[in-house]
Amino acid sequence: MKRILVTGGGGFLGSHLCDKLIEEGNEVLCMDNFFTGSRKNIHHLLDNKNFELLRHDVTHPTFVEVDEIYNLACPASPIHYQFDPVQTTKTSVLGAINMLGLAKRLKIKILQASTSEVYGDPEIHPQPESYKGSVNPIGIRACYDEGKRCAETLFFDYHRQHKVKIKVMRIFNTYGPRMNPNDGRVVSNFIVQALKGQDITMYGDGTQTRSFCYVDDNIDGMYKLMNSRDGFTGPVNIGNPGEFTMLELAQRVIEITNSKSKMIFLPLPQDDPMQRQPVIDLAKKELDWEPKVKLEDGLKKTIAYFDSIL
């Protein structure tokens, strides 16, 4: 049995990861400051003897004894990471320094939840890990994108300089139950709007694309990456190559919910990437991983979840 630290464990992905790690017979120490996460996401684990909750901000150092670290703490949706952009950069950069320092002292493996946002508004399509990205360093998304890019730099420098065992995962848009209904991401927004019969808020003309991965596939990839062969550091893309325009996404949500909602068109936010699709050859080869859940099936499960909480 391992004792595993999950930072951001009260969030959407973190709470599913806590479930998986406990199912696999580990002890979990969940660290969160509940900026965007919620106690509700981990409520079912609070009485589990293998689960412990620590309310703590990753920008401050931590002294705990663990065998592995998954570093997920960071707001992920644009409205939340733009709410206090300085804190967002601090969370990525100071959080990485603190967690890497802990991993160095304890001589343990550490996984970083990085993001497809390191590619910015990509000039090549689809995006392989070798693509170095096109990020506007002074734009309103930079606190997140550049924070995550700097965190990757720190991971690779701790690896080269201090021999810390690292695993870096570049996550593409992921959706599923326990997404925060108010966090402004497209899947949660469209579903909540469709279920409530409100207007569907389409930013821009809706021709921009994203590739959506269901949460179970993401967590499967994350677990496989942490347990991949020694010396494999990544970065590795984890996402679903199925690419859809926002118009297509809205159409599917409207169909499945049988909603009468109409689309309204609003301005496209600054620096909003026009397209995004992962190349997942590396994950297939190194992790024997590929996503299994189709958008249609994942949306049905996510809609059922939102229906139960709204």
Closest to 157 measured CA to CA, from 99, 100, 234: 100
Between β-strands 243-245 and 209-211, what pairing exists: parallel, antiparallel or unpaired? antiparallel
User: Least distance in Å: CB of 186 to ligand UDP?
Assistant: 3
**Of 283, 250, 266, residue with least CA distance to 116:** 283
C-beta closer to ligand NAD: residue 12 or 190: 12
Backbone angles phi, psi at 194, to 5 degrees: -65, -40
Q: How far is the CB of 214 from ligand UDP (least distance, A)?
A: 15
237 strand-pairing partners? 170
Bridge partners (DSSP) listed for residue 114: 170
302 binds, among ligand NAD, ligand UDP, none (CB under 5 to 8 A by kind): none
184 Cα distance to chain centroid: 14
Query: Quick one: what does residue 210 bind among ligand NAD, ligand UDP, none, with the CB cut-off 5 to 8 Å set by partner type?
Result: ligand UDP
Shortest CA distance to 277 belongs to which of 219, 218, 212, 214? 212
Catalytic annotation, pick one of 144, 158, 175, 214: 144
224 binds, among ligand UDP, ligand NAD, none (CB under 5 to 8 A by kind): none
Residues numbered 239 to 268 that lie near ligand UDP (CB under 6 A) are 246, 268
Confirm whether 144 is a catalytic residue.
Answer: yes
Contacts of 163 (CB under 8 A, 6+ apart): none
In the range 179-198, which residues lie near ligand NAD by CB under 6 A? 180
Q: What residues between 115 and 174 interact with ligand NAD by CB under 6 A?
A: 115, 171, 173-174
Pairwise CA distance, residues 171 & 127, whole Å: 12
- Residue 208 found at the interface with ligand UDP (CB under 6 A): yes
Residue 12 binds: one of ligand NAD, ligand UDP, none (C-beta under 5 to 8 A by kind): ligand NAD
Which letter, b or e, does each residue of 44-81 get, where b requires 16 or more Cβ atoms within 10 Å of its Cβ? ebeeeebbbbeebbbbeebeeebebbbbbbbbbbbebb
- Is 272 a binding residue for ligand UDP by CB under 6 A? The answer is yes
CB-nearer residue toward ligand UDP: 272 or 286: 272
Instruction: Please count the residues of this chain forming the interface with ligand NAD, following the rule CB under 6 A.
Output: 28
For residues 164-183, which are near ligand UDP according to CB under 6 A?
A: 173
Size of the site for ligand UDP (CB under 6 A): 15
186 binds ligand UDP (CB under 6 A): yes
By DSSP bridging, strand 109-115 and strand 166-171 are parallel
Q: How many CB atoms lie within 10 A of CB 185?
A: 21
Question: Binding ligand NAD by CB under 6 A: which of 4, 5, 6, 12?
Answer: 12
Length of the chain as a residue count: 310
Residue 97 structure tokens: 């320094």
Cβ atoms within 10 Å of 175's Cβ, excluding its own? 24
189: contact with ligand UDP by CB under 6 A: yes
User: Which residues are annotated as catalytic?
Assistant: 144
Interaction site with ligand NAD (CB under 6 A): 7-8, 10-14, 32-37, 57-59, 72-76, 91, 113, 115, 171, 173-174, 180
Interaction site with ligand UDP (CB under 6 A): 77-78, 173, 185-186, 189, 201-203, 208, 210, 246, 268-269, 272
